[in-house]
Structure 1
Amino acid sequence: MSLQNLASSLYATGGLGLASFATIYCFYAISCPVAPVVIRFLGTKWVIVAACCTYCVYIAMNFYPTYYTLIPAAVLMGMGTGPLWSSQGTHLTTSAMNLADIISETHEAVISRFNGVFFFFNLASQIPGNLVSSLVLFSGVNGGTSNDTDLSSCGANDCGAVPVANSSGSNTPDQTTLYILFGTLLAWGTLSIPMAAFFMNPLPSYCPVLPAKRSALEQLKATFRLALSPRMFLLIPLIIYNGMELGFASGDFTKAYISCTQGVQTIGFVMTAYGIGGGISALFLGIINKYTGRLPIFTVGFLSQMVLITMMLFWDPYHGQLWHLYLMAVALTFGGVLRESQLAGALSDPNLYITCVKV
């Protein structure tokens, strides 16, 4: 995630950074319908282990970033991402439902609480990753913004035409610094493989909600039937908006607002605040959902995002302060977590899977 935050700034020339992540999410979408088939054959545990390997391949290709290395690695990672998130969701939902039956609570409340814990760790991972990226890049970047720097293409005026180095006046980190950064991230990613392989318990093959084993073709048909069911179909606009907002946070916000005005070395520090705010929000929401339900949380998230978008649209990069960026990052993740955690809970609703079984 910290590498994703940097990609649009590090590889601004030619749009390689954004192109690689667009490729990842394109094949992520393609891999989602076939994820149930892959999970059925490999099991959730080994799907997660295999997906971790695809992430490591992509990180490794950043040592020599070209369209011939990064794009194929992005295709591979995208094909692993769909099964990865499907496996994580299966683990989370099944564990939450089992616990709900044991402690006699509603499935929705426990699933929401589990999602809160999951997204807490998911977003908190931005803290060490972004701190390392900024500390490493800060030591390897010379120069920075000055009073006479042209910021006319920063903020809402950014259209991707002006490279970050030209608009902010900051130099690109030297190659040795980037190697240290990529090596650190690759080491962490590689460590995840044996951790998942040796310490993660496989999911029991029996689940009271899911149907018995079916052929791969039947699995695909069931997946598409579920996607076209009224309950799921009405969630699709929210899912699309969620993906666009995540792309904006990691691609446009980091490049147009942070790197363009403060330099690439500041991205990690600001996005650390993004991770802290998101982690705390996710944990808190997982608890209060039991008392409020989803609708009030969705409403607050929507209103906070509208206020933030208005603020960012009229923000003046010439007179903007660094603390403005920290505030934007926290507000961005707060609204995102409100929406994403509740969306994950809605997608984990057992009624959706029961509907799929019936059809």
Structure 2
Amino acid sequence: MDVDEDTKYLLLGLYGMCMVFAVVGCAYLLDPVKTYVASTSSCGQIITQISSVLKCILDKRFLLICGLLMYSTMQLAFVTAEVTKAFVTCPVGIFMVGYCMIVYGVCGGTTSFIGGRLTKYIGRIPLIVAAAISNLGLLAFMVFWRPDSDQIVAFLLLMGAWGLGDGIWLSQVNCIISAIFPEKLEEAFAASRTLQGLGGAIVMGYATQLCMISKMGILAGACIFGTSMYIVAEMISRRKQDNIDEEKSLTKA
């Protein structure tokens, strides 16, 4: 379906304005971060930084959460590139994509805000497991669902449900990195962004090569694997922290 030039320019203009407002807002409203001192880096320093990131990736704890990091962007790429095309544009029309993404974004922002506060009371694992179960349930529903153009509410509910899970994934991933790697945050965040980019690239890479059932199967497998390995990583991290606390208590005694 062709989109007229006026609509294209309107969308690009709105997107550009959002970028400008975001940059201006960060520049004038965000408190300056002085944790790291800005300086020029030599070739040797760059190589050292890359080496530190690679060492972080090879850390046993990081390897256990690699699957979860990749899945957090795999599910995002799947929704934005595949669900909107196969389950919204084809049965209803491209005009409905915008409304669905509005619902998706609002639900994602809501769960991200609420999830950050719930973490203090119930921890990260219940939220991650809830998001995984939600995503797996949606994938199972999509396998058997036959979309119809009259089911407008169903399309909105589907995208809203995906947004609820996405809000948890994107907010909790940062919390996980901060909690498991407090001693090397810079390297851990750099490594996590690398893997998240790889996850999105993988989904886009096989987008034109596989059928929808195969794509959903891959995503379900990645969800189960990533969540399982993350739970193991949390158990190891907590055991290590318990041992440290026990040693401190013995030292004080």
Deviation at 1:240? 1.6
Q: TM-score, normalised by structure 1?
A: 0.46
CA distance in 1, matches of 2:52, 2:70: 21
Helix, strand or coil for the counterpart of 2:147?
Answer: coil
Contact 2:178 2:185 in 1 (8 A): no
Greater displacement, 316-325 / 230-239: 316-325
Tell me which amino acid in the other structure corresponds to 1:236. Answer: C
Q: Which residue matches 2:83? A: 253
Percent sequence identity is 26
Partner of 2:46: 216
Rounded to whole Å, the distance in 2 between the matches of 1:270 and 1:206 is 40
Alpha-carbon distance between aligned partners in 1 of 2:74 and 2:53, rounded to the nearest angstrom: 23
Q: Once the 2 structures are TM-superposed, how far is the Cα of residue 258 of structure 1 from its aligned partner?
A: 1.2
Q: How far does residue 290 in structure 1 lie from its aligned partner after superposition?
A: 0.8
Amino acid at match of 1:328: L
Once the two structures are TM-superposed, the CA of residue 227 in structure 1 deviates from its matched residue by 1.1
Q: Corresponding residue for 1:175?
A: 5
Query: Equivalent residue for 1:348?
Result: 178
Aligned position for 1:78:
none
- Which letter maps to 2:90? C
**TM-score (normalizing by structure 2):** 0.64
Give the Cα–Cα distance (whole angstroms) in 1 for the partners of residues 185 and 164 of structure 2.
Answer: 32
Mapped contact 1:281–1:337 kept (Cα < 8 A): yes
Q: Is the 8 A contact 1:226 1:352 kept in 2?
A: no
**How far apart are the structure 2 equivalents of 1:243 and 1:290?**
25
The answer to whether the 8 Å contact 2:177/2:185 transfers is: no
Q: Distance in 2 between matches of 1:199 and 1:356?
A: 24
Match of 2:138 in 1: 308
> How far apart are the structure 1 equivalents of 2:121 and 2:63?
27
Residue 18 of structure 2, aligned match among 188, 195, 199: 188
Q: Which runs of 5+ in 1 are unaligned?
A: 1-164, 166-171, 208-213
Q: Deviations over 1:201-225 (max 9, x none)?
A: 4311459xxxxxx922222111111
Give CA-to-partner distance per residue, 1:172-200, whole Å, 9 cap, x none: 22112212221222233234334434444
Question: 158, 176, 179: which one pairs with 1:328?
Answer: 158
Q: Structure 2 stretches of 5 or more lacking a match?
A: 38-43, 187-253
Match of residue 237 from structure 2: none
AA of the residue aligned to 2:16:
L
Q: Distance in 2 between matches of 1:194 and 1:319?
A: 41
Aligned partner letter, 2:157: L
**3-state SS, counterpart of residue 181 of structure 2:** helix
User: Is the CA contact 1:222–1:356 (under 8 Å) kept in the aligned structure 2?
Assistant: no
